[in-house]
């Protein structure tokens, strides 16, 4: 089970095959320890699908993007705001110690970078996304965190307004905002789970963002201190 999980990363999978072919006599637990050491130095990425709509296009597209980063050797975690423990913040429990919220926030923030996949609802991003941000620790949660954005929409602007509003917020929270954005307009016409994106330009733009943001995460960003 553990080796199968490690094998979801294509580079690790190739490494495992190479080790097995070359040194088939090695104990598998030695290989696991070796992979754990390698994994320690791997860059990590959290992809956040920023809506709580069940079966959303946002989550579908986030799942499409995830293996593209894994192909480049990143360890990728996908989180959907559909799983945000909204019932635990009913009544406005700002400043309260809420274990479920802390766990959710830690799952998002324990990473080297974040990719937000954002749909456009009524000219902005979904309300659950703002609620999620409002329950993050202030002011340090986004401090010095590299972030990239993908917008999707049924309309012709591809979530442009939603992404730019989100960028204003994370910029205020002192994140490092990656400048290469991707906007997928008329989403249902250009994407299927089976075939991916049908529009060559969108394929090119997404591939470019993935490659360049993965490289961006290799930089040693200066630590920020608001104190």
DSSP 6-23: HTTSHHHHHHHHHHHHH-
Tell whether 134 and 67 lie within a shared domain: yes
Q: Residue 224: inside a domain, yes or no?
A: no
Q: Is 192 helix (H, G, I), strand (E, B) or coil?
A: strand
Q: Is residue 223 part of a domain?
A: no
226 in any annotated domain: no
Helix (H) or strand (E) segment spanning residue 45: strand 44-49
Q: Answer whether 110's CB lies under 8 Å from 45's CB.
A: no
158 pLDDT higher than 90: yes
Do 52 and 146 sit in the same domain of this protein?
Answer: yes
Q: Give percent of the chain with pLDDT exceeding 70.
A: 79
For residue 196, pLDDT beyond 60: yes
Q: Which residue has the higher pLDDT, 129 or 16?
A: 129
**Listed range (133-142, 145-154, 197-206, 216-225) with the worst mean pLDDT:** 216-225
Q: Do 51 and 160 lie in a common domain?
A: yes
| pLDDT of 37 over the 60 cut | no
Residue 152 has pLDDT above 80, yes or no: yes
Count of Cβ atoms closer than 10 Å to residue 38 Cβ: 15
Same domain, 53 and 148: yes
Domain limits for position 169: 43-216
Pick the more confident residue, 184 or 226. Answer: 184
CA angle 27, 32, 33 (to 5 degrees): 100
Q: Which ranges in the chain belong to alpha helices (H)?
A: 2-6, 10-22, 28-40, 57-70, 99-109, 127-134, 160-172, 187-190, 200-216
**52 near 128, Cβ under 8 Å?**
yes
Count of domains observed in the chain: 2
Rounded mean pLDDT, 137-163? 94
| 56, 127: one domain | yes
Q: Is residue 222 situated within a structural domain?
A: no
Output the domain CATH number for residue 107. Answer: 3.40.50.360
One domain, residues 136 and 212: yes
- Percent of the chain that is helix, strand, coil (3-state, to 5): 45, 15, 40
CB 79 within 8 A of CB 46: yes
Number of CB atoms found within 10 A of residue 195's CB: 7
Average pLDDT of the residues in 1-23: 54
**pLDDT category, 139, cuts 50, 70, 90?**
confident
Compute the distance between CA of residue 219 and CA of residue 71 in angstroms, rounded to an integer: 19
> Quick one: 23 and 112 in the same domain?
no
Would the pLDDT of 33 be above 60? no
Q: Are 109 and 102 in contact (CB under 8 A)?
A: no
Mean pLDDT for all residues in the chain: 87
- Confidence (pLDDT) at 169: 97
Question: pLDDT-derived band of residue 203, with 50, 70 and 90 as boundaries?
Answer: very high
Q: Output the pLDDT for position 30.
A: 57
- Residue, of 16 and 81, whose pLDDT is higher: 81
Same domain, 121 and 26: no
Q: Same domain, yes or no, for 138 and 118?
A: yes
Classify residue 118: in a domain, yes or no. Answer: yes
Contact criterion met (CB below 8 Å) for 58 and 32 = no
Q: Are residue 89 and residue 198 in the same domain, yes or no?
A: yes
pTM of the model: 0.83
Of 23 and 153, the structure prediction assigns the larger pLDDT to 153
> 194 and 131 in one domain?
yes
Q: For the chain, how far is it from start to end, CA to CA, in angstroms?
A: 45
Q: Are 117 and 86 members of one domain?
A: yes
């Amino acid at each position: 089970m553990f080796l199968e999980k490690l094998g979801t990363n294509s580079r690790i999978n190739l490494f495992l095959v190479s080790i097995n072919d070359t040194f088939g006599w090695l104990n598998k637990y030695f290989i696991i320890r070796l992979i754990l050491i390698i994994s320690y130095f791997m860059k990590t990425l959290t992809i956040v699908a920023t809506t709580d709509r069940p079966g959303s296009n946002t989550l579908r597209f986030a799942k499409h993007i995830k293996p593209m980063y894994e192909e480049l050797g990143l360890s990728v975690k996908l989180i959907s705001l559909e799983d945000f423990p909204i019932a635990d913040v009913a009544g406005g429990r700002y400043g309260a110690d809420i274990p479920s919220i802390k766990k959710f926030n830690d799952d998002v923030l324990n990473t080297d970078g974040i990719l937000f996949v954002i749909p456009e609802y009524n000219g902005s991003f979904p309300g659950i996304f703002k609620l999620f941000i409002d329950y993050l620790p202030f002011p340090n949660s986004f401090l010095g965190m590299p972030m990239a954005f993908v917008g999707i929409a049924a309309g012709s602007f591809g979530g442009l307004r939603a992404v730019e509003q989100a960028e204003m917020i994370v910029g205020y929270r002192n994140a490092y905002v990656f400048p290469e954005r991707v906007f997928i307009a008329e989403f249902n016409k250009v994407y299927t789970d089976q075939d991916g994106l049908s529009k060559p330009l969108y394929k090119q733009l997404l591939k470019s963002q993935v490659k360049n943001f993965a490289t961006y995460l290799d930089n040693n960003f200066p630590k920020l201190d608001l104190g």
